[in-house]
Every structure is written in C-alpha cells, then in structure tokens.
Structure 1
Amino acid sequence: MPRVPRIPSELAFLPFSGSRAVAAGLVTWRMLRGSSWHRLLPDIYVHVDGYRENDHRMWCDAVALTVPAGAAISGLSAAFLWGVDLLPRASPVFVTLPGAARRRSTRRVSVDQRSLSAPEITRFAGLPVTTGVRTAFDLGRQLPRAAALVAVDALLHRRVVKLPALSSHLEAHGRWPGTAQLREVLALAEPLSESPMETRLRLVLHDAGLPPLAAQHDVYGTHAQRGRVFLGRVDLAYPRWRVAIEYEGDHHRERTHFQRDVARLNALREAGWLVLRFTVDDVLRHPARIVRLVTGAIHERRN
C-alpha cells in the first residue's frame, strides 16, 4: 500500500509561502510540485484539501502573504472581510499598496497605488485590512452611485462604521476624487436597510422625487382584549398614508417564511395598510412600474 505523505499541521489548511516552508524544513520543492499542493500565486501554495476556486477568503489569505508593509486588503475585499459580501463571482482581491511599491493588477489581484496612513489600516484575523471608515470612504467614492449607496448602507447596518465617523473622515479628505458622490451617498444613507435590493428600491423611489420613506417600520394595531399589538415590520413605509413597500427576495419562497408572510400581510391589510411587493426583476428592469404603482398608492390614500 502506498504511503500517505504526512501533512505538517502548519500547512494543512491555509495558504503559505513555499520558500519559507522549504526553508523551515516543512516541505521540499519536489513535494510542492506534487499533487498534494495547489499553487495559488508565485511562491504561494495551499494543500489541495483547502483549495476552493471561488473562496474569496482563501485568496485574501494568499494575497496578504505577498504584500509589503503599509499595504492592506481594501475596497470590496475589505468589505467582504468585515461581513459585507458584495463581490461578483471570481472577483480579484482588492489591495491598496504604498506609492513606492510597484505591482501590476492580475486576474486574481486588483491593485490601487495609494498610500494609506497608519490609522487607516487594522488587522482582521491576522490580515492587514482597511478600517471600516476607510473601506466605506473608498467604496462610497469609487463605486457607481447605486452600488456605492448599497455598500455604505450595508457597512452602516453591520456597524462596521458609524455615520458620524464617516462624515468626519469625509470632511478631513474633502478634496479627494469622488467626494462629491460620497456626500450625496451619506445624505441618502440608511443604516436600517437590511439588503442591497432594499437600498436600490429606496433609491428608485428617491430618484423619482417621491417623499422620504421610513425604513424597517414597525406597525401596530389594536386588539379588543390585549390593546396595542405588534402586527409586523415592513421594509419601507409611508406611515402617514399607511402604505407599505416590501422587497421580496428568494428567502420569502421558503415554506415557513411564506406562511409567516401571509399571516403578517393579512394582519396589515385588516389594520388598513396597503402593501406593495416588488421583486429583483422590478427593481433592476422595471423601475418605472414601481414608481407608477407607489405614486398611485399615495394618490389613492391622500384622497
């Protein structure tokens, strides 16, 4: 029976530097050329059991081993590490390198040559990463407007950054490229927003000139015996007119969630609320239809 090679515990799961592992006597170059190891980047390897082609965390671990002092994982990759996953499939790892460091972007690594100050870098599970404030500052400036608002909303919602701290950072760097957009994003930001599509739905209505909405609005009714009772929480609302606006994601199709939704919507209707429900197709492909329906609902309730 062929002998199963022993895998050093230090190399069993995470990416590592091949040259350092060889120097430490953990493996040989001949072993690294074998089928037990997968080469991720020049001099960076991972055991085949730890390799997942689209595992962005694995790629962050790998890239972090290759960057110089003063560099940090940044942008959408930093947001991912902070718990906000807005990455497209097979996204490169975004890094910011000091101006003196020279490195080209590749399919796996997207490089931004801009120096970071020491207070703008922290460590997450051992990796150098831009702070929550700097991550939100960059994404709010650099992404397209709607995506920028989605990112800032999500970072605020997860409490990675707080709005006053982000506003202060903006004022201290007010001449940087993209800060005009970031000011608009901060004026529209909503920490209560619970999903990217909810943010995009709110933006559709804002851009149409409709009145400001209340996010994650709690609705109460009156029960004959129990008095004031909680009926449910709606994504967006015009409480004055009892108009609720809901984004319906795929999770609403699950049996248990669907049953709860039916009961909640019936209770809202009984309490005099008009509920409009929209899907991803509405938000991305039919925004005019959303505006027409919401405008009609407001007009109906006003009269």
Structure 2
Amino acid sequence: MENWPRKFGLVERRKKTQADQEFWRNQDRYYRVTSEILVAKQSYDGLLTWERRTAVAAAVGLTVDRAVVAGRAAARLWGIDVLSEDRTVELLHTDGKQAGSRRTWPPNVLYRRGNLHAAEVYEEHGMRVTTIPRTLREIAARHGVLEGLVSIDSARTKWPELTRETLTEKLLEGVRFAGKARVREAIELSEPNSGSPLETKARYLIRKADLPGIETVEIQARIDTGPDEYFLVDILINGWLVIELDGRFKLDGTTFGSTDAVLRGERAREVAIQNTGKMVIRSGWEHLETSEDGQIPLLVRIEAALRSHPVQTPRGQTMRTVDKTA
C-alpha cells in the first residue's frame, strides 16, 4: 500500500508540540481534513478529485483508533478504482463491536454494521484498512454489482493472481452475508484486462442490454493495421464494431499531453482502424448515462450500427465475452 499520508503531506495535529512554532503560527496555510488531520492548502488545491478522496480516506484512517477503513475508501487506499466519487469514508469495527451514537460520528464518516474478523484487517502507515478480499466484497455487497465489478476488474488488472476461482474462494466461500448474490455476479462478470472503470461500465451495460445481433464482445482487442503496427481497442463487438472510450483525463491537456496533440493522435488511430474495415464508435462517460428519453446513448448507437452493417455474423451463437484467462 502506498504511503498516502506522506504522499499528500498530511499533518497530525495531535503530534505537534509547542516547539513547532512555525506550524502554530501558520494555521491559515492548512485545510482541516478531519478534526486532527491537516493538509497544506497549496498541496491540496493541486490534487485531482480521486486524489482528494484518497487523502480524506487516509486522514480518517490516521484519526480513528479502533475502527477500520472499509468499502470504497479502503479501495482507494489500496489503489483500486472505484466508480463513485462519494467522499464518505465507511468504517467497520472488529469482532462485533459497534460504533456509538450517530450524533458522535465525524463529518463524512459512516459506520457500517457487520462481522469483521482480525484476519480481515491490514495495518500500514498508521492506518487500518480491510484486506483486499474484504474490501471488494464490501463494495459489491453494499453498493451493487456494477460498483463491485469496477473495483474487482481494477484489482484483477493490478494483481493477475486474482482469478475468478480465487476471488470466489476468498470472497464467497465459508461465510454468510447480505448481498452475496451481487458479489457472485460481479465476480462472474469480471475480466483480468479491463482498461478502465469507463470500459468496465460500458461492457456491463452492453452485457445487460442483451442487444439483438451481438455474438461476441472482446476487450483490449488487437487490431493489426500494418505489417508492424497494431492497436489495442477498448471493446470489439462481433469482430468489426469498435467501441473506443474516452475518459475524463484524456483531453484535460495535461494527463496525456496537449489536447491538440491528443486529438490528432486519436484521429490518426481511428482512420487506421477504419481502413481495416472496422466501424468505430467513440464514447465518453456522458454517453453511458440514461438520457431524458430513458435510453442510453451508447447502446442506441451500437444497436443502430448492428442493424445497418452489411456484414452478418454467424447465427445460432449465444453472446459471449472473449476471455483467454479466468
């Protein structure tokens, strides 16, 4: 686990002494993340949204004495992607202990009820968090299949040894808990090579829509565009329909270089793929949300492409996700 307190420069107020005069004189230079944890304004203002959420999770982790950071907040501390931007930090107590009255809870903190064993707790850098298996289980069980799938996909990409079989053993076997069916479905739908939460959500929506005409769905599919050139595309449907997904950071002018250079590169890539006879649909987060007419724009475009494309895929097959590893 990364040392987030050091990375973000979190300051534990209770550890400062009267000798730290510069700190006490310059309180206006800090934001108060929790009642006991501060962070320099200059540092915090430069953080991305996901980094700020992680900083809050780390601050709460440093503050609580008996509780354990769980759910989405724990995933952030493990470096696992989460779908939601909710900054609430979920906490659990071990061995059946319960939190006090809700009126005593700090802001942005939610204590969950549940059986958490000592073996499901990991401690490092002054923070106690749920183990990776328990973290993934909490997200899927409490927040639904899609959120669980995003985090499980991310974990499988980060740790290839987390196969479906391994996840089933670690998350499901030998325990009873609410939301077990959701966890099982998230594991079954997971893939070892998802490129991003956006890709995972798109794949999930395509799978759940059960659109007529879809025979195969392949992720991170290789498209050969020349003797020594190929591209990996986010999603390939029926071997000819390419879905390219653009996340929030691709055109921010910083993460992937200047916006103009990114646009030129993406256009050249798209033309090269189209020259192989493929059709390309570009989509972003906004195309995965339900519009006013009750439809999801990405699915509408896919359905239209499947109806209009002259090439027919073999009949008599069922939709499947191409996956060479479990």
Normalised TM-score (structure 1): 0.77
Over residues 38-93 of structure 1, what are the superposed CA-to-partner deviations in whole Å (9 max), with x where a residue is unaligned?
65545x14365588488334433432344334x32111111111223537557122
CA gap of 1:229–1:52, structure 2 versus 1, over 3 A, is closer
Q: Distance in 1 between matches of 2:250 and 2:33?
A: 38
Q: Distance in 1 between matches of 2:125 and 2:161?
A: 18
- Alignment counterpart, residue 77 of structure 1, candidates 51, 73, 76: 73
Q: Distance in 2 between matches of 1:272 and 1:36?
A: 58
2:265 matched residue in structure 1: 260
Whether 2:92 is the aligned partner of 1:107: answer: no
Kindly provide the amino acid, as one letter, of the partner of residue 100 in structure 1: K
1:243 matched residue in structure 2: 241
Q: Distance in 1 between matches of 2:209 and 2:63?
A: 47
- Alignment counterpart, residue 62 of structure 1, candidates 47, 59, 63: 59
1:170 matched residue in structure 2: 171
CA gap of 1:299–1:187, structure 2 versus 1, over 3 A, is farther
Q: How does 1:185-204 map to 2 (within 5 A)?
A: 185-204=186-205
5+ unaligned residues in a row in structure 1: which ranges?
A: 1-9
Instruction: Quote how far apart the aligned CAs of 1:158 are.
Output: 2.3
Larger Rg: 1
Q: Distance in 1 between matches of 2:219 and 2:209?
A: 17
Instruction: Quote how far apart the aligned CAs of 1:233 are.
Output: 0.9
Instruction: Quote how far apart the aligned CAs of 1:234 are.
Output: 0.6
- Alignment counterpart, residue 220 of structure 1, candidates 224, 227, 230: 224
Instruction: Quote how far apart the aligned CAs of 1:248 are.
Output: 2.6
Aligned pairs, number? 280
Q: How does 1:141-160 map to 2 (within 5 A)?
A: 141-159=141-159
1:296 matched residue in structure 2: 307
Higher relative contact order (CA 8 A, sep 6+): 2
CA gap of 1:32–1:41, structure 2 versus 1, over 3 A, is farther
Instruction: Quote how far apart the aligned CAs of 1:141 are.
Output: 1.4
CA gap of 1:293–1:159, structure 2 versus 1, over 3 A, is farther
Percent identity, please: 22
Over residues 123-173 of structure 1, what are the superposed CA-to-partner deviations in whole Å (9 max), with x where a residue is unaligned?
343321112111111112111332222222122222287133321123324
Asked whether the 8 Å contact 1:252–1:258 carries over to 2, the reply is: no
1:6 matched residue in structure 2: none
SS of corresponding position for 1:113: coil
5+ unaligned residues in a row in structure 2: which ranges?
A: 1-5, 252-258, 315-326
Q: Distance in 1 between matches of 2:144 and 2:246?
A: 24
CA gap of 1:120–1:264, structure 2 versus 1, over 3 A, is same
Q: Distance in 2 between matches of 1:140 and 1:269?
A: 38
Moved over 6 A (4+): none
Asked whether the 8 Å contact 2:84–2:147 carries over to 1, the reply is: no
Instruction: Quote how far apart the aligned CAs of 1:274 are.
Output: 2.1
Normalised TM-score (structure 2): 0.72
- Alignment counterpart, residue 87 of structure 2, candidates 91, 102, 106: 91
Asked whether the 8 Å contact 1:141–1:182 carries over to 2, the reply is: yes
Asked whether the 8 Å contact 1:13–1:50 carries over to 2, the reply is: no
CA gap of 1:298–1:65, structure 2 versus 1, over 3 A, is same
Root-mean-square deviation (Å): 3.4
Q: Distance in 2 between matches of 1:90 and 1:181?
A: 20
2:320 matched residue in structure 1: none
